[in-house]
Amino acid sequence: MTEIKLSEPTIFPDLNRIEEKEPNYARTQLHLNNLKYKHFRSIVSYPEQDQMHHLMMSMTGLSEDDIGELSPGDAAEISGAVFEAMRKYMELGQKIAQGLADKKDKK
C-alpha cells in the first residue's frame, strides 16, 4: 500500500460519502491501490485518450467527479505511479515475447 501526501488539503465528496466522513472532510493524504492485470485489461474498452484517466481512478479509488478535485501536481504524481506500473507490465510482456521468440528459434 502506498500513500501520497497531497500538496493541499482536498475534499473528495464521493469518497467522503462512501467512507461516511463529513461532507467537508479535507484529506492531506491519499491511498494508492496497486494496479492489477485486470485493470490493464479493462482499459482497452476505452478510447486511448481516456485510458490513463481510468487507470488513475482505479489506482486512487476516486470517482469521475472526485478525481477532478486533484491539484495538477497531485494528478501528475499519481500519473507517474500509473506510468511506473505500466512500465513493469510492459517489461513483463517483452520478456514473454522474447521467450516465445527464443523458443521458436530453437525449433
Q: What is the pLDDT of residues 48-70, one digit of tens each?
A: 889 899 999 999 999 999 999 99
pLDDT given for residue 85 in this prediction? 84
Identify whether the C-beta of residue 30 lies closer than 8 Å to the C-beta of residue 11: no
Above 80 in pLDDT, residue 1?
no
Average confidence score pLDDT of the chain: 88
> Domain spans of the chain?
2-106
Q: Which of 22-26, 37-41, 88-92: highest mean pLDDT?
A: 22-26
Residue 90 has pLDDT above 80, yes or no: no
Closest CA to 22 of 32, 33, 11: 11
Distance of alpha carbon 35 from alpha carbon 51, whole angstroms: 13
Question: Is the distance from CB of 84 to CB of 57 less than 8 angstroms?
Answer: no
Containing H/E element for 3? strand 2-11
Average pLDDT over every residue of 6-25? 97
Is residue 96 pLDDT above 70, yes or no?
Answer: no
Are 8 and 69 in contact, with CB atoms under 8 Å apart?
A: no
Sign, CA dihedral 66-5-56-33, equals negative
More confident residue, 63 or 107: 63
